[in-house]
Amino acid sequence: MTRHDTHAQSGLRMRPLRLLMCGIVALAYTTPVLSQQVSAAAPHTLGFSVDRLARIDSVMLEHVNQGHVGGTVVYLMRHGQVAYAKAFGYADKESGRRMKTDAIFRIASQTKAITSVAVMKLVEQGKLQLGDPVSRYLPSFAHTTVAVKTDTGRSIVPARREITIRDLLTHTAGISYGTDSLVAPLYQAAGLGPAAGWGWYTADKTEPICSTIDRLGALPFVAQPGERFVYGYNTDILGCLVERVSGQSLDAFMQQHILQPLRLKDTHFFLPAGQEQRLTTVYMHDEAGKLARAPDGPKGQGDYVTGPRTSFAGGAGLLSTASDYAHFLQMLLNKGTLGGVRILAPRTVELMTVNQSGTLFSAEGGFGLGFAVTQRFGVDGRMESPGSFGWGGAYGSTYLVDPKNDMVMVFMMQLLPNRNLDIPFVTLVYQALEDLK
């Protein structure tokens, strides 16, 4: 979540998770939805104060009842067991449909973590290397260009070197979402940037993702490869790369190699038939600041139910539940395995979750191969432990994995634009933890 669009802002630099919540509603709590690999445990047996953990309830209810958000789901795991899984408010206020812990959310940029795992599976199989030029698999990236601001407007110059797979995983390729004023008209004309919501939305496209990405390769980017952290289409390009290298659609590859082995049955690019009552409505704030249903289309509900189901966007396309996503993260916390199934090697997960971008992400924080990484305790007043990694999505969902404390945190909501984040979710979790490592 990051800098030139709402998408980016919600996750970049892993600011303390503060999330606007809306709707006049009471708490809706349901029993945790568990996979076959995990069980629930009493919070106090996992090191949490029950009384202090209940502060999450009161804060969520307050923001729901004040009309800041329609509804939320909070899912917390420690030592491989579910410590807390609750739903608050409404999944759809207009119909009175209450939020449940198995509600389905548009997870936007949380898709990036799963796509990054797909890429690293291909690396492990020897089918590509991190230092490979992207053009080896996507020829349209052989001669990329960069837009430079000049006194008279804009100049387009050749890139000084080719973009690599590692550049894309670390968002240091210089590729934005095309909403920057410097390049926005060019991206608009190509059906990207402003023509795709805030740039990242492709669910309404009738063309495969690789057709979109081939067109992207001919557009100018906004920084030279390796010189800046720029949040944008990087992981969408990686999704196309997975398709080209594997010979499968990104959807089929993820299902076969990641989602089905982990038994994550509710994670898809488009909503399966008969699941409409589980999809959470997207909300916004109107001109008066009141909560309202977001419009249909790329800046609202999107085309995840009746859309063309053709474009599988590795950067922001997936739907999922808090439970599914928490168990995917538990696999990473377990160094690549869950329920007797190994998805990645331990060394691969270690490589992904350490800083790979120097100081380009920030002077204090780091960015690995798909995740923001906390390098020391207390940066910007945040509570996460060194070695923690996470990110979030444009609709307000977010996550954090803390290996030191053996903990997974997932927060889900649906609000566009995701602005004025003000629920300190991570703080609420850590203040309840009594045996902090």
**Residue 380 pLDDT class (50, 70, 90 cuts):** confident
Q: Which architecture characterizes domain 6-104+269-307+318-430 according to CATH?
A: 3-Layer(aba) Sandwich (3.40)
pLDDT at 37: 63
What average pLDDT is seen over the chain?
Answer: 92
- CATH code for the part of the protein at 115-253: 3.40.710.10
Q: Which residues of 372-409 are buried (b: 16+ CB within 10 A; e: fewer)?
A: bbbeeeebeebbbbebbbbbbbbbbbbbbbbbebbbbb
CA-atom Rg of the chain in angstroms: 20
pLDDT at 243: 98
Residue 15 pLDDT more than 50?
A: no
CATH 3.40.710.10 range(s) for the chain read 6-104+269-307+318-430, 115-253
Three-state DSSP at 295 gives: coil
How much of the chain exceeds pLDDT 90, in percent? Answer: 86
Q: Are 298 and 197 in contact (CB under 8 A)?
A: yes
Predicted TM-score (pTM) of the model is 0.93
pLDDT at 365: 87
Task: Single out the residue of 328, 237, 229 nearest to residue 12, CA to CA.
Answer: 229
pLDDT at 4: 36
